Amino acid sequence: KTVDFVFKTPKKSVYNATLRLPVFMPIDEIKGLGPFDEVFDKIHFMVSKAAAAECRYFEDTLYTFNNKSFKNQMPSSCYQVVAQDCTDELKFMVLLRKDSSEQHHINVKISEIDIDMYPKDNDVTVKVNEMEIPRTSLPYRHPTASIEIRQSGEGLAVFAPSHGLQEVYFDRKTWRIKIADWMKGKTCGLCGKADGEIRQEYHTPNGRVAKNSVSFAHSWILPAESCRDEFECRLKLESVQLEKQLTVHDEDSTCYSVEPVPRCLPGCLPIKTTPVIVGFNCWPFDFQTNVYDRSVDLRKTTQAHLACNCNTKCS
């Protein structure tokens, strides 16, 4: 059974079509949300919370919005897109990276607002547009946007339900992301589309569906443009050539991957790699079309780089 929920005030309206029954309404939870003083904001939060989709990370395993799980072998110091609004509005983006000491960092982008959460001195610290917010100043509410940051359990949580981002929780061991019900089917990234379709869960940025979680996770890496990357990311994404020529269609052919593979920047050498199976397209001569638009002739294992050591020639 479902119900259409509509709440109206003279200036605003909240609605949620086909809300499945029974539904748990977190009434007790909203009592502590001091910054959401208006009745409208509290009801908006309560309805969104009840129908939110959740993506979480626990014990090296990522569970998507559709509850499909996989191990994410993270690259060193490079951000990955965990979840973002994939409509033209791009209301939010959540990024994740692992630093050189294996600690996770979360970055939340909402409009022109940057929120960073990361471990510091056995605790979790938060910055808003590069300005650190002391624990004594929490809960914090942004002066111009409906965004709230507060302590939650052993970590911190960002709430922005009116932007489609119900909650981003982060502590030293785990994190979770909850999106509003009306964002289901409109997201992309490591957490997936939240559309209930797990057979095509591994959508990459170019729309191709990866055959395995490793290739899928690599496709959402934000590569470095140079060695001057402020987070010390030293990886690029590229189509790689199969080391040996193969006979395809009765002709000696050269094969290139139609899925991007992380590789070290020029002037850098890999110090950590992992095998990944990707699709290759093979032809006896080079086509001018984009390699990522080509069909898959075969699948082979190649080496993906996860961490690099660079010399002074790296630029």
User: Which has the closest alpha carbon to 81: 106, 61, 60, 112?
Assistant: 106
Q: Which residue has the tokens 């056995």?
A: 122
Q: Let me know whether 76 and 130 are in one domain.
A: yes
Residues 240 and 293 both lie in one domain: yes
What's the rounded Cα separation, in Å, for the pair 120 and 117?
A: 10
pLDDT, tens digit (0-9, with 9 covering 90-100), for 156-214: 999 999 999 999 999 999 999 999 999 999 999 999 999 988 888 999 998 889 999 99
Q: How confident is residue 9, by pLDDT bands cut at 50, 70 and 90?
A: low
Residue 20: the pLDDT is 56
Q: Which of 155, 197, 194 is nearest to 178 (CA)?
A: 194
Place of tokens 């959401």: 36
**Cα separation of 247 and 201, whole Å?**
33
- Local confidence band at 8 (pLDDT 50, 70, 90 cut-offs): low
pLDDT in tens, 88-139: 999 999 999 998 888 999 999 998 899 999 999 889 999 999 999 999 999 9
Residue 262 and residue 249 share a domain: yes
- N- to C-terminal Cα distance for the chain? 59
A 10 A CB-CB count for 61 gives 11
In the prediction, which pLDDT does 49 show? 56
Same domain, 46 and 69: no
Report the pLDDT value the prediction gives residue 101, as an integer from 0 to 100. 85
Q: Does the global pTM surpass 0.85?
A: no
Query: Domain end: 177, 204, 222, which one?
Result: 222
Domain boundary among 197, 222, 247: 222
H-helix segments, the chain: 27-30, 39-50, 213-219
Determine, yes or no, domain membership for 75. yes
Quick: pLDDT tens for 232-280. Answer: 899 999 999 988 777 666 777 888 999 999 999 998 999 999 999 999 9
Q: How many domains, the chain?
A: 3
DSSP 140-173: EE-SSSS-EEEEETTEEEEEEGGGTEEEEEE-SS
Secondary-structure breakdown of the chain: helix, strand, coil percentages, each rounded to the nearest 5: 10, 45, 45
Confirm whether 227 is domain-assigned. Answer: no
* Distance from C-alpha of 107 to C-alpha of 95, rounded to nearest angstrom: 5
Q: What's the farthest any 2 CA atoms get from each other in the chain?
A: 73
Range of the domain at 32: 1-51
